[in-house]
Amino acid sequence: MFWKSTYNEFIKIAAKPRSYIGVGAITLIVGIILFAMKADGMNFISFVTAPFEQSLSFEGNILNGNLIAFIILQMLIIHVPLLIALVTGDLVSGEAAMGTIRLLLTKPVSRTKILFSKYLAGCAYTFIILLWMGFMALIVGKWLFGTGDLMVLNSDGLIVLQEHDLGWRFALGFSVAFLSLVTIATLSLTLSCFSENSIGPIVSTMAVIILFNIIGALDVPVLQKIQPYLFTTHMMAWRSFFEDPLPTEKIINSIIILLVHIVGLLGIAMYKFNKKDILS
Amino acid sequence: MPGEDKIIEVSHLVKHYGKFKAVEDVSFDVYRGDVYGFLGPNGAGKSTTIRTMLSLIRPTSGQIRLFGKNLLTERNYILQRIGCIVEKPDFYKYLSAEKNLEIFARLSGVSVTKSKVHEIIEFVGLKGREKDKLGGFSHGMKQRLGIAQTLIHDPELIILDEPTTGLDPQGIIDIRNLILQLKNERNKTVLLSSHILSEIELIATRMVIINKGRTIVQGSVSELLNAQELIVAFSVNNIEKARQLLANASLDKVIDKIESNSILLHIPQEKIPVLNKLFCDNGIDVYSIEAKRKLEDYFLKLINA
């Protein structure tokens, strides 16, 4: 019954027009970035490499598909949560708003299974969005700009990663980015269990992300104590895979923090959903 | 109905929301084959009771047994045997009628073929609309689809909470006929909550009336109503003579109202032929005898008591 319920949730997500907003938005944004890079990418690269040109000389195809994918991932990982929350924030509250939750919960499937089905479908949607972003960034990027070594600028300076060393970094980077987005999906699903309209959980999810980002950016000692435990602090953990040497401990710590959030939020969602009186 | 197969046993059901007492003490039994009327004014606790029976709401106290099993411990076993509409029949607007039925069938614990889906759609009179999205359906069509949804897994018990709300007169008749078909052709037990008393009177075999969260009365519709005095309208050719005749027989107290060509009397059912004979024997022509608004009067009498 669980898999039938999950299949139902896939059908519902696939049939909802709002599910395609994310795919459309990513296609549009990545398309614009690719167009802008094609038109004026070398100027952008010169701006980044200018401080190093007195001591280093850059040869080869610097503006390549790998760099484009890295830039796109860095730019979009902040905005994709809204596209994810648009669908996952509606999974429970949307049913309440439409009234279908009454029928859904009078079927012989436990509430835990129904919620977990929704969660699984939400995670699959998140994966598809990220996969589409990866395809647009990496595959289309390489097709348009060719391939080459990846030049990454971080707080320690400029790192050049060999082309043959990039495949596993992108794979693991995307995996941790997926974990970050699943945390967002879990948060919005949890908030969805507390609401009877679609907009509330979506807006609340974004409000939490903005609030946590502000707390994370404030250089105040009392807030610095909690900053390492906020999931937003670890949203960019995927970037650590493009450091050399790899900060393994930092990456594992981020994964643990994100997993703790996922498990905790899912626990709250399960509790609320199971106890909820359906009055709508 | 002792000895018969009880399908629903609700005993001393209580549901409080903080200080608000939605249901105080509701008890009733529904037997296999009943079309059971569930009556009460707005706010009486009907919907709360039905939602509790369907595990949408947790009771504060009391016990609900369906098919001889406790709802709290055997939820899935019980829900597999129930089809229901709770208030409005809401569906996924972005899916077709057929897809909506498939979605709910998949969750009902039975495998349902496409031909079964089409058969049910035809049964409720929606043939030809199965591929249409629900966004374009009228309220009446959604009600029909709601009934289709209750039947898709061939349940033993069908619970319909206000199934005719918002329907036009033709829609009400159609739904009433569908309910009668469920009982007569498909041998379903139906629990029907409704505000429309004439509807219950026409199709229910047994009923319960609740008010302010408490059971007031339950039993066979005909027995409950026959035990009560009726308002009977005798349409006669000479009203004044009829009134005088009743006064002479010391029956003037039963007169409820006198209209231009009929006299309305508050009498038990067995008095109807007696009075008819009395009028005829005394040269009064009786054109018609009509028992009026039985359940409505009975309901109001109980509610206002």
Q: How many CB pairs under 8 A join A and B?
A: 83
| Range 22-51 of A in CB contact (< 8 A) with B | none
Predicted structure pTM score: 0.85
State pLDDT tens for residues B170-212.
Answer: 878 888 888 888 888 888 899 999 877 777 888 889 999 999 9
Measured CA to CA, the distance from residue B251 to residue A255 in angstroms comes to 90
Domain end among B178, B210, B225: B225
| Range 167-186 of A in CB contact (< 8 A) with B | none
Shared domain check, B158 and B286: no
* Number of other residues whose CB lies within 10 A of the CB of residue A263: 11
- Per-residue confidence (pLDDT) for residue B293, from 0 to 100: 59
A128 vs B300, higher pLDDT: A128
Cβ of B90 within 8 Å of Cβ of A100? The answer is yes
Shared domain check, B176 and B61: yes
B144 vs A208, higher pLDDT: A208
A5-9, A91-95, A177-181, B132-136: least confident range: B132-136
Angle at B256 (CA atoms; ends B255, B261), nearest 5 degrees:
80
Shared domain check, B173 and B112: yes
Cβ of B56 within 8 Å of Cβ of A4? The answer is no
Cβ of A103 within 8 Å of Cβ of B79? The answer is no
Cβ of A11 within 8 Å of Cβ of B95? The answer is yes
- Per-residue confidence (pLDDT) for residue B295, from 0 to 100: 73
Is 90 exceeded by the pLDDT of residue B3?
Answer: no
Cβ of B106 within 8 Å of Cβ of A7? The answer is yes
Facing A277 at nearest CB: one of B58, B84, B90 = B58
B165 is a domain residue: yes
Residues of B in contact with A104 (CB under 8 A): 107
- Give me B55's structure tokens: 């595990």
Measured CA to CA, the distance from residue B54 to residue B28 in angstroms comes to 15
Domain end among B225, B255, B272: B225
Shared domain check, B195 and B91: yes
Shared domain check, B161 and B126: yes
Shared domain check, B258 and B134: no
Residue range(s) defining the domain that contains residue B266: 228-304
Domain range list for chain A: 2-275
Distance in Å, alpha carbon of B163 to nearest chain A alpha carbon: 14
Distance in Å, alpha carbon of A143 to nearest chain B alpha carbon: 37
Beta B189-193 vs B35-39: how paired, if at all?
parallel
- Give me A103's structure tokens: 């029928």
The answer, for B135 touching chain A at a CB cutoff of 8 Å, is: no
| Range 77-106 of A in CB contact (< 8 A) with B | 98-100, 102-106
Distance in Å, alpha carbon of A278 to nearest chain B alpha carbon: 5
Cβ contact B206:B220 at 8 Å: yes
CATH number of the domain where residue B136 is located = 3.40.50.300
Provide mean pLDDT across the span A44-64. Answer: 76
Residues of B in contact with A15 (CB under 8 A): 92, 94-95, 99
A264 vs B240, higher pLDDT: A264
DSSP B129: -
Provide mean pLDDT across the span A116-133. Answer: 95
- Give me A217's structure tokens: 């950016």
State pLDDT tens for residues B55-92.
Answer: 999 999 999 999 999 999 999 999 999 999 988 889 99
Quick one: pLDDT band at residue B1, thresholds 50, 70, 90? Answer: low
Counting residues of chain B whose pLDDT is more than 90, the rounded percentage is 37
Mean pLDDT, chain B, integer? 86
B99 to chain A: closest CA residue: A11
Residues of B in contact with A5 (CB under 8 A): 106-107
Q: Which of B206, B195, B193, B159 is nearest to B53 (CA)?
A: B159
Facing B56 at nearest CB: one of A5, A100, A106 = A106
Distance in Å, alpha carbon of B221 to nearest chain A alpha carbon: 29
Q: Work out the burial of residue A236: count CB atoms within 10 Å of its CB; fewer than 13 is exposed, 13-18 middle, 19 or more buried.
A: middle
Q: What is the ipTM of this complex?
A: 0.83
Cβ of A108 within 8 Å of Cβ of B91? The answer is no
Shared domain check, B275 and B169: no
Quick one: pLDDT band at residue B305, thresholds 50, 70, 90? Answer: low
B1 is a domain residue: no
State pLDDT tens for residues A230-249.
Answer: 999 998 899 899 988 889 99
Counting residues of chain A whose pLDDT is more than 70, the rounded percentage is 100
Beta B262-267 vs B230-236: how paired, if at all?
antiparallel
How many independent structural domains does chain B possess? 2
Measured CA to CA, the distance from residue A238 to residue A221 in angstroms comes to 26
- Per-residue confidence (pLDDT) for residue A108, from 0 to 100: 92
Task: Specify the amino acid at residue B83.
Answer: G
Quick one: pLDDT band at residue A123, thresholds 50, 70, 90? Answer: very high
Cβ of B82 within 8 Å of Cβ of A106? The answer is yes
The answer, for B47 touching chain A at a CB cutoff of 8 Å, is: no
State pLDDT tens for residues B25-65.
Answer: 999 999 998 899 999 888 889 999 999 999 999 999 999 99
Quick one: pLDDT band at residue B304, thresholds 50, 70, 90? Answer: confident
Residues of B in contact with A107 (CB under 8 A): 79, 104, 107-109
Is 70 exceeded by the pLDDT of residue B2?
Answer: no
The answer, for B108 touching chain A at a CB cutoff of 8 Å, is: yes
- Per-residue confidence (pLDDT) for residue B227, from 0 to 100: 67
Domain end among B209, B225, B241: B225
The answer, for B149 touching chain A at a CB cutoff of 8 Å, is: yes
Shared domain check, B238 and B194: no
Shared domain check, B233 and B183: no
- Per-residue confidence (pLDDT) for residue A229, from 0 to 100: 93
Cβ of A4 within 8 Å of Cβ of B107? The answer is yes
Shared domain check, B148 and B129: yes
The answer, for B36 touching chain A at a CB cutoff of 8 Å, is: no
- Give me A257's structure tokens: 């923090």
Provide mean pLDDT across the span A107-129. Answer: 95
Shared domain check, B247 and B181: no
A40 vs B227, higher pLDDT: A40
CATH number of the domain where residue B288 is located = 3.30.70
Quick one: pLDDT band at residue B4, thresholds 50, 70, 90? Answer: low
B255 is a domain residue: yes
Measured CA to CA, the distance from residue B141 to residue B143 in angstroms comes to 5
Shared domain check, B299 and B209: no
